[in-house]
Amino acid sequence: FSVRYYSTTYAQYLITFFNKWSFSGFHFPLVVSFFHMTIVSHVIWLYRTATKSVSEKDVITWGLFFKRVCPTAVAAAVDIGLSNWSFMYITVPMYTMCKSTTIIFILIAAIIFKLEKFKILSVVGNCADSIWSLLFTYNLPLNLWGFI
């Protein structure tokens, strides 16, 4: 378990530093994110088309797809695009600390999409964790536009 955990954690840091490096000279990170998501969606479509011929049963209906999958995909795309865009304005330590506060937004989205029941204790706990993470950003240089 620990080998898998640390390998994925280190891979996450490597991807973060790679994104910071790649977007330091190229100032169109939303275009890169758009093309990446387009390629991934085409690969998934090809995979589903190939596996559908083996099993003729559709696992998900179009209504369920547009109701559950599309909002999640749009939220993920916006998160990735804006995260890549933020590298132009903030440092990697600031990015890492701000990214750790996304648990609040995940909880809000889960409550809105009725994936999680509203519990005041979970809201207070998540807010406390996020505020604790933001306390460490006090001495870091802050560009408000990059933070937003």
- Give the pLDDT band (50/70/90) at residue 70: confident
Instruction: Tell me the pLDDT tens digit for each residue of 94-112.
Output: 777 777 777 787 888 888 8
- Residue 136, pLDDT score: 64
Q: How many residues comprise the chain? A: 148
Q: What is the pTM assigned to this prediction?
A: 0.55
Q: Residue type at 106?
A: I
- Residue 97, pLDDT score: 73
| Distance (Å, whole) CA 75 – CA 65 | 14
* Residue 57 reports pLDDT greater than 70: no
| Distance (Å, whole) CA 18 – CA 9 | 14
16 within 8 A of 95, measured Cβ to Cβ: yes
Mean pLDDT over the full length of the chain: 75
